[in-house]
Amino acid sequence: MATDQGPVVDSALLRSELVRLRKEKGLTQEQVARTLEWSPSKLIRVEGGKSSITRTDLQALLMTYDVTSESRQERLQNLARGARETPWWNKYRGLVNDDLLSLTGYTAGASFIRQFHGTLLPGLLQTREYAQVITSDLADPTAQQMAIELRLERQRRLAERQSPPRQYYILDEAVIRRHVGASIDPGIMPAQLRNIADRAESEDLLTVRIIPFGAGYHQGVYGPFVLLEFEGGLSDVLHLEGRPGTAATLSGDAPQIAEYRDIFERMLEETLPAEQSIELVRKVADEMEA
């Protein structure tokens, strides 16, 4: 059966494994293509993720690489099957920016999500009411509604995974102090903050840490980012957020990934402990209602 990691991660895992198997055999793409009577471009497209692979073609590759274990063959066939599935987020395409959909695809199969934000709450922590406020600048009502629904569906689908990911968030105190929606309904932000606190206290895989104003300068001032880790040997992914069209998603050996891992760990040293962070979140919610 297909995995529940989503087609983007299934495809990346499959491609990574196929490239590794070929290199372990000491074969070039041209040699493999010649053996299978394929055009070299066919294998290049498969390994590059530009083309899906049929069950028959995958079996031919595995025979070429001397993969005889039935369990290993079945695992790779499951990845190929998952990679061919239509992404659930396709229904949002054209109505939500491509940067967010790219991140959605990777996040859907991550085993560990680390994220920092210094101005707004990450989408995976937002309530519907909070999301409605921060998407209100979208001129198209349909696009706004789809942006909101995508945030909520991402949360729901991660929670429904057989092995949900661990989620670790660092937030600047400014994020929880900003009274989002105050002019519309002063209760939106207090309810949002209590939702975060309740989730952090009840969900074992969710941690929220706050960098207090008293910590002064920290490296998060350069902008929000997301670090994703995966099971199965897939390289980490770094997503640098920005305005639509300016975000960047990096993977593989990109040096920025190691740099941002280090930044996240150093920023953790500036945060309040988890319990104190949640106490502050609840305190701010109370102050907003006072």
Q: Report pLDDT for 148.
A: 96
Let me know if residue 2 belongs to a domain: no
Q: Among 84, 102, 137, give the residue marking a domain's end.
A: 84
Q: Among 47, 67, 84, give the residue marking a domain's end.
A: 84
Structural domain boundaries enclosing 26: 7-84
- Nearest one of 92, 109, 210 to 164, comparing CA atoms: 109
Give the predicted TM-score (pTM) of the model.
Answer: 0.91
Let me know if residue 77 belongs to a domain: yes
For residue 36, the domain's CATH number is 1.10.260.40
Written as six digits, the tokens of 39 are: 């055009």
Task: Please give the chain's pLDDT, 290 residues, in tens.
Answer: 557 899 999 999 999 999 999 999 999 999 999 999 999 999 999 999 889 999 999 999 999 999 999 999 999 999 999 999 999 999 999 988 888 898 999 999 999 999 999 999 999 999 999 999 999 988 789 999 999 999 999 999 999 999 999 999 999 999 999 999 999 999 999 999 999 999 999 999 999 999 999 999 988 878 999 999 999 889 999 999 876 656 788 988 889 999 999 999 999 999 999 999 999 999 999 999 98
184 shares its domain with 275: yes
259 shares its domain with 218: yes
117 shares its domain with 148: yes
Let me know if residue 1 belongs to a domain: no
| Alpha helices in the chain, H assignment, sequence order | 7-24, 29-36, 40-47, 55-64, 70-84, 98-107, 128-134, 141-160, 173-177, 188-202, 255-268, 274-289
Q: Among 84, 115, 139, give the residue marking a domain's end.
A: 84
What domain count does the chain have? 2
- Nearest one of 113, 89, 109 to 13, comparing CA atoms: 109
CA distance 155 to 153: 5
66 shares its domain with 122: no
DSSP-assigned letter for residue 125: G
Place of tokens 């297909």: 2
∠121-260-108 over CA atoms, to 5°? Answer: 55
For residue 125, the domain's CATH number is 3.30.870
115 shares its domain with 73: no
In a 10 Å sphere around its CB, with 0-12 CB exposed, 13-18 middle and 19+ buried, how is residue 159 labelled? Answer: exposed
Asked if 164 and 7 count as a contact pair (C-beta separation under 8 A), the reply is no
